[in-house]
Structure 1
């Protein structure tokens, strides 16, 4: 049966898991979930994930959802012994968790609010509060990167998969990352060093950006 990932194009968490999958060199079957047709609300999917979110990983019948938990699981089960993506050092693991919780608590919800407003509520504007929160995210990441090349340390960890995908998607709505030199350099560093970055993140991000721009150019309903 192997590994199956339930996904939707454009989703930052899905792209974070795709980056992890590529980094580990895993063979994964993909199952598309159409959120606009509410396939994520069907009983069969809700049985897998009552939160009705993507991604969802099925590992030979073991089901786990939330990209942060999925990535930690994949590295723990399929990575190398003491894999640098999620090292056993408890202090470094604490920092990695700290950064993934930052994504869960502030960065991703900021994206989610803007995404829902534009793609599902069909609004043409971005709320000023959302713009302010996005700038807060950029400023905090700029601060985090004062002492390290990547978000948790000086090498790529699973925290980077989450942070870089969320950051690059926030930029679709608030294109001001160039004002934050460390953040801009960090994204470029991830682009050039993460395995299959183009296929795992950029291609899907470009599709998401086109969808957002199409919605913003339409008249409000």
Structure 2
């Protein structure tokens, strides 16, 4: 089936920016975006919870050319699926490129699960939870894991190649770069190889479109 229409439920600088970035890479501006007022708790309305019971963004509404619809609410799954659906755009190795595909999927899931989880726990315990239940030691533990275990792995890859899976930009770079940018808010991922990488990806027009609303972010 072909896609007739895509609508992204989005909030500036959040995980939905990952998906917005890839959509801009693939479709330019030929998709719909609706900003969800997270600070005003719009994600807890019945209509939104019917789309995403986990009350967060992104949410992707997909309408196919036969009239059927689908809802997705995991950013990593969206990146993998969009890159595959629009495989002719070249943002993911094909299944026939077995070794490259395995490496790409590994880095995509590493970013969506392991590194994202450490960043999210840091954000919870430094910024979001009520102060009575925050645990700064736990936040520091997560930051240390990023600095001492994850950063060296990323640096090794990006000293060897321009992009996270080699010399070609893929959707895994969107996941990786978003996490590096997020980590920068906590003083992490400041190595020259990571800074040079971020300069490369930020030069992409789709990046500028995806983060054009950054000034509207309310943390």
TM-score, normalised by the number of residues in structure 1: 0.80
Distance 1:100 1:94 in 2: 10
1:163 equivalent in alignment to 2:176: yes
Paired with 1:181 and 1:203, the residues of 2 have a C-alpha distance of 27
**Helix, strand or coil at the partner of 1:173:** coil
CA distance in 1, matches of 2:102, 2:183: 25
Aligned residue for 2:66? none
Specify the alignment match of 2:19 in structure 1.
Answer: 17
Report the Cα distance in structure 1 between the residues aligned to 2:212 and 2:154, rounded to whole angstroms. Answer: 20
Distance in 1 between residues matched to 2:144 and 2:127, nearest whole Å: 20
Number of the residue aligned with 1:130: 142
Cα distance in 1, alignment partners of residues 42 and 8 from structure 2: 15
1:63 and 2:71 correspond: yes
TM-superposed deviation, 1:202: 6.5
Q: Which residue of 2 aligns with 1:41?
A: 44
Shift of 1:135: 0.8
Q: Write the mapping of 1:139-218 to structure 2, written as runs, cut at 5 A.
A: 139-174=152-187, 176-178=188-190, 180-192=191-203, 194-201=204-211, 203-204=213-214, 208=217, 211=218
RMSD: 2.4
Any gaps of 5 or more consecutive residues in structure 2? 64-68
Distance 1:114 1:207, change over 3 A: farther
Give the 3-state SS of the residue equivalent to 1:50 in structure 2.
Answer: coil
Shift of 1:122: 5.5
Q: How does 1:24-103 map onto structure 2 within 5 Å? A: 24-26=26-28, 27-60=30-63, 61-77=69-85, 79=86, 81=88, 83-88=89-94, 89-103=97-111
Distance in 1, matches of 2:123 and 2:31, equals 27
Deviation at 1:165, TM superposition (A): 0.8
Q: Secondary structure at the match of 1:196?
A: helix
Shift of 1:80: 5.0
User: Which structure exhibits the higher relative contact order, with contacts defined as CA atoms closer than 8 Å and separated by 6 or more residues?
Assistant: 1
Q: What's the TM-score once normalised by structure 2's chain length?
A: 0.81
Equivalences for 1:100-111 in 2 at 5 Å? 100-111=108-119
Structure 1 unaligned blocks of 5 or more: 213-221
Equivalent pair of 1:16/1:201 in contact (CA under 8 Å): no
